[in-house]
Chains A and B, each alone.
Chain A
């Protein structure tokens, strides 16, 4: 199944037999130890001798799961939307799609913003990665790749490295890094450097805060942390029992955690240094397609094929809101928060983007325009705009205008248009 061929996390002397070999991180009596695979099997045997059977262990895990439920329910004294009744209702949002970026020849599968707040990178099934200037709609770079299923891309925070992933067609289960330069004549594809390698497709990737490390999630059921320069595996994260579809790093500068979501319907929170699974949330009823941290880092949202988005608080250790409507029956494939965390933008397979009021749990507005599934939504780093990518091969940028100046601006535009028409007729007359 998922990670059987990818069990070796580190290499070194086993804590039990001291022989150097690939090691597995396991927990015995709540202590983390590293055992080689032989010693893990021997430990399992020893367990058997003490009267533990597979059945008794399964019963114990069932009891523990019930206890976990009870402990979580003890703290559920009030619902988030009840607490949020005190908050002002959002004023009518005037978020609309203002720009359409055309240029890809096939489905756009992923997009990301650059930290300079104006550049976007997008990857498409036509095998190209394009860097756009969102202000002028110009294409700055176009990188063709040998693989047609480029699942994701991301901008590195500091050094403008663009990250690309190659999917599962062919032998590419790798994650590559390309340094971007302003010289348009440079053959960027030749500078592509493979960093990560999984045993199945790579579904999600993210640079860490330091820009020197890369976190990837994969269809082999694991996540992994890599050193970009050397391509070395630093840590691997085991715990999902099916494909991991998405990951997101905690926003804090000193953050050492990330959340991942997958086809096993679970969202797991991990410690990057130890590789341990800290918390696990299982309330979705289908694959989790996307997970995203709340801007404060104390909560996260997930978007799923069960047509809902859910909001989980990490300190209360439970789901605190479900964003759903009877009229929404198509799965949500992507989600992102606005800068303050008040709005949750979610892209659905029914071609729309629903904007949810995170605190009150209601839908604030809905964005139409895409002509096929929305594959990715991302809010720009300064929070001014929302970028969305779709299978209709376009990207759209949406933002909101304050309605007062909107009318004034339209009037000014009309004046200029009238003026330009008069000038034209004047010149033609002569």
Chain B
């Protein structure tokens, strides 16, 4: 009996949750996609994996061997 009530309570919660989700405000995909693209393009220059930086500026580069030889 209480199991049935728990199921009903669950079902009512699901219904209320779906009502909330149906009623949210949405944007057209074309507009959302345009904004995603704009963000990518705006930040592409700063992205070292997309526009590689010269190795002298790359902090991960192997240290030069000057000191070892001299």
Residues on A lying within 8 angstroms of B by beta carbon are: 26-30, 40-41, 43-45, 47-48, 52, 54, 57-58, 60-61, 64-65, 67-68, 71-72, 75-80, 83-84, 86-87, 90, 93-95, 98-99, 117-118, 134-135, 239, 276-280, 294-296, 298-299, 313, 315-318, 320, 338-343, 358-359, 379, 382-386, 397, 399-406, 409, 412-413, 416, 419-420, 423
Which residue of chain B is the closest to A299 with respect to CB atoms?
A: B36
Chain B positions within 8 Å of A, measured between CB atoms, are 2, 4-9, 11-22, 24, 26-37, 39-44, 46-50, 52-56, 58-61, 64-65, 68-69
Q: Could you name 30 residue pairs across A and B whose Cβ atoms are closer than 8 Å?
A: A41-B9, A57-B14, A61-B15, A64-B22, A68-B21, A77-B29, A80-B36, A90-B50, A239-B17, A276-B20, A277-B17, A298-B36, A316-B32, A317-B24, A338-B47, A339-B50, A340-B40, A340-B42, A340-B46, A359-B40, A383-B46, A383-B49, A386-B49, A397-B60, A400-B52, A401-B52, A405-B56, A409-B55, A416-B65, A420-B69
Residue of A nearest to B68 (CB): A420
Which 6 residue pairs across A and B have the least CB separation, nearest first?
A340-B43, A57-B11, A340-B47, A64-B18, A402-B52, A27-B16
Q: How far does the Cβ of B68 sit from chain A's closest Cβ, in whole Å?
A: 8
Contact, CB under 8 Å: A75 / B29: yes
The answer to whether B40 touches A383 (Cβ under 8 A) is no
Of all chain A residues, the one with the shortest Cβ separation from B13 is A26
Quick check: B65 and A420 within 8 Å, CB to CB? Answer: yes
CA distance A185 to B65 in the complex (A): 33
What 20 additional pairs, Cβ within 8 angstroms, besides A27-B13, A41-B9?
A30-B16, A44-B6, A44-B8, A48-B8, A54-B8, A57-B11, A57-B14, A65-B18, A93-B50, A280-B17, A294-B39, A298-B35, A316-B28, A316-B29, A318-B29, A338-B50, A341-B40, A383-B46, A383-B48, A401-B52
Which residue of chain A lies nearest to B4 when distances are taken between CB atoms in the complex?
A54
A279 touching B8, Cβ below 8 Å? no
| Chain A residues whose CB sits within 8 angstroms of the CB of B50 once the complex forms | 90, 93, 338-340, 342-343
Q: Which residues of A contact B42 (CB under 8 A)?
A: 340
Query: Considering the chains assembled together, what is the distance between the CA atoms of A84 and B39 in angstroms?
Result: 12
Q: In the bound complex, do residue A98 and residue B60 qualify as a contact, i.e. CB atoms below 8 Å apart?
A: yes
Give B49 Cβ to nearest chain A Cβ, in Å. Answer: 5
Interface pair A47/B36, CB less than 8 Å apart: no
Which residues in A have their C-beta under 8 angstroms from that of B53? 384, 402
Rounded to whole angstroms, the CA-CA distance of A295 and B40 in the bound complex is: 9
Quick check: A338 and B49 within 8 Å, CB to CB? yes
Contact indicator A342/B21 (Cβ below 8 Å)? no
Closest residue of chain B to A339 (Cβ to Cβ) is: B47
Question: What's the minimum C-beta distance from A293 to chain B, rounded to whole angstroms?
Answer: 12
Write out the residue numbers on chain B whose beta carbons fall within 8 Å of the beta carbon of A29. Answer: 16
- Known: A340-B50, A359-B37. Is A68-B22 also a contact (CB below 8 A)? yes
Q: Which residues of A contact B54 (CB under 8 A)?
A: 402, 404-405
Contact A280 B21 (CB under 8 A): yes
Complex contact B60–A87 (CB within 8 A): no
If A30-B20, A54-B4 touch, does A401 touch B30 (CB 8 Å cutoff)?
no
Selected contact of B49 from candidates A44, A239, A339, CB within 8 Å: A339
| Cβ-defined contact, A54 with B16, below 8 A | no
- The answer to whether residues A295 and B39 also contact, given A30-B20, A315-B26, A343-B49 and a CB cut-off of 8 A, is yes
B2 with A41: CB separation less than 8 A: yes
Q: Shortest distance in angstroms between A260's beta carbon and chain B's nearest beta carbon? A: 15
A325 to chain B, nearest CB (A): 21
Cβ of B56: which chain A residues have Cβ within 8 Å of it?
405
